[in-house]
Structure 1
Amino acid sequence: MTDIDSQATPPLIEFPCCFPIKVMGETQEIFSTTMIALIQTIVPSFNAEHIEMRASANGKYISLTCSVDVVSQAQLDDIYRLLTSHPLVKYTL
């Protein structure tokens, strides 16, 4: 009989790390400030300096790449759940 734990695959991400999260939604004035506030509920030190913003070719959509310092997979999962459940968010990668 083999020990299953000894055959477990190593984690894909080493924590702590700075993890890029891409959030997309329709262009609205409140989009970026709302995403910052959401992430800050989990990572209080997160701020606008950690965001790269891009508009779509026609300007209808905006994407934010949020570089977030995370300490665990659970924290990262919490951020994704929070962002994907918000009505302004169309996609999160």
Structure 2
Amino acid sequence: MNTKFDELLDFPCPFPFKVLGVADDALVEQVVAVLQQHAPGDYTPTTKPSSKGNYLSVTVTVTAQNKEHLETMYSALGQIELVRVVL
């Protein structure tokens, strides 16, 4: 990835990931499991269903150590089958 995270953020820093995916009970668990692999911690995700209930937004704040750490987490979250967008 060619991002400018290192220019825009002072590491380490809290970073909120917003993951949009298919409304499935497993989505939240899968998102937290991936983040635990890369940044172990005690996470309390917040969720919000779409207006029609087809999609679910999951927001989790993690402590990012550096640019590469953030990019790795973005890539890993994007590989979850239920995920459509990672912001």
TM-score, L = length of structure 2: 0.88
1:69 aligned residue:
63
User: Which is higher, the Rg of structure 1 or of structure 2?
Assistant: 1
Is 1:28 aligned with 2:31? no
Cα displacement (A) at 1:86:
1.7
The alignment yields a C-alpha RMSD, in angstroms, of: 1.2
Is 1:44 aligned with 2:36? no
Which 5+ residue runs of structure 2 have no aligned equivalent? Answer: 1-5
1:15 aligned residue:
11
Runs of 4 or more, structure 1, over 3 Å off, are: none
TM-score, L = length of structure 1: 0.83
Which 5+ residue runs of structure 1 have no aligned equivalent? Answer: 1-9
Structure-2 separation of matches of 1:44 and 1:32? 16
* 2:77 counterpart letter in structure 1: L
Q: Aligned to 1:41, what secondary structure does the other structure show?
A: helix
% identical aligned pairs: 29
